[in-house]
Structure 1
Amino acid sequence: MKAARATLDPKVDTRPCDTPRIADVLKEANAAQLVRGMRLNTETHTLLPKNVGNVLNCSSCHLNAGTVADGSPYVGVSAFFPSYAPRAGREITLEDRINGCFLRSMNGKPLAKDGDDMKAMVAYFDWMKRETKPEDKAEGRGVGKISQAIKPDTENGARVYAAQCAVCHGSNGEGIKDAAGAFVYPPLWGNQSFNIGAGMARTYTAAAFVKRNMPIGFHGGFPLGQGGLTDQEAVDVAEYFSHMPRPDFAPKVNDWPKDKKPADARY
């Protein structure tokens, strides 16, 4: 399944980010493991309550189970591990990277590296890798970039949040639940959101994600109708919500032991 359509509509993303059709996992010999890996991404806090300390899922940041360009997709990613991580100051494995998300974005506890759940997540990532090699460029990888020369205006960020974000994430960043009490849209701050050690707690990382992926349903673009904010608005609203109260991350003292700390780090 391609994450782009052959069309002249300027609202539609036509970049060559190609994602597999997730239903095709059922054709694989390890289909049950792959389905488990996919579900662990979309139902993380429900399936792994001992490891997730908030109400987020992997898919809160890795949109559509990791299939959206610039929405932290998994396509090709496992080909680039092991790799050097400046924040850790060492080479890390894919399992290390996954557990980093559990510790930071999930404000929780790491998975056992040799456990079935970790193996299922890695298998799902590897299935999404397909023919990607370490020297390749994976189109749409990460969340994109936004200029750090743009200076945030937090007051405008509050206005943008109220006008464009609160309808899904709540007026106080608390998220939105359905009638059964399950979260439809995740909280952006408070005790049930990511901690200050998460990448999304950094203004310009959050701004790049917001610029390309939020608000969802803003127009008719494919696949989620996302986008619509200017670069300035994205930086403003990212500064606003990323600096709201959220859990601390005690091991932050160990971050960037060798490399320069990013200017927008929360600590």
Structure 2
Amino acid sequence: MVASSELKTKADRLLNFPNMIVATVGIGSSVKHDHLELISTDINAILRPSANSIWKYLQSNLAVPGCLACEVDIGGDIRILLDSSISTRQKLFDEGRKFIYKLIEELISFNLLNVNVSVDIFSEEVTEAIPLQNISRIKRKLGGLSLVEYNGHNVNQSLLAQHIKNIGMTSSSTSFIIFIPNGVFLDSQLIERIKHSTNERSIIVSVGLIEDPMWDNLEDLATYGYFVFSSEDAILLARYLKKEMKTTTCT
């Protein structure tokens, strides 16, 4: 989808019709989130390329009041994985940490009672733990830190893949696995291992750090291009996660 003033104008014309909703579906590896918002009726009308999620959206929005009973539930697990390997400079690690702070603060402001959030720092060793007490009310929202080890300078791919697999096995609902990697360790083999380790309820979100992000690898890693963000997008990602964790069931 190409961002253009012509497309925006056509979308605006559609909105002039009564009861018209313009929805967008983010398809492809490089989806521009600000463009999706520009031509959609609202953020709830921005959809990922999933037949099930699109059907749920249409079902709830086309329901005739009084004919269908719809229940809305918000829930899921968010696992944030921050790379602090020896090849990750302190500046990049701090950037990833600030992203996590902002993301979690925004999620907390939504008061999402059925959402579990935890942070994993993976490296050769834990060089600096995130001070959880510095985030407001975080003890009720954030689980403990766990460690995914490397072997020297090389990623222990089996251990990392097993960790991803364990996340899916221990989650009773949809899991969003947010990778904040140093792009150096991502290669096609590791990306395939990670993606094959997830189950049908796990969605991989990749976050690129501002300084020299490996966008091609990040786009390959994410479940959909729709879930590729930069470290400047913490608030935007929080809003998307809230929307994606909302389930509407109509009977």
TM-score normalised according to structure 2 size: 0.25
Q: Which has the larger radius of gyration?
A: 2
Which structure has greater strand proportion? Answer: 2
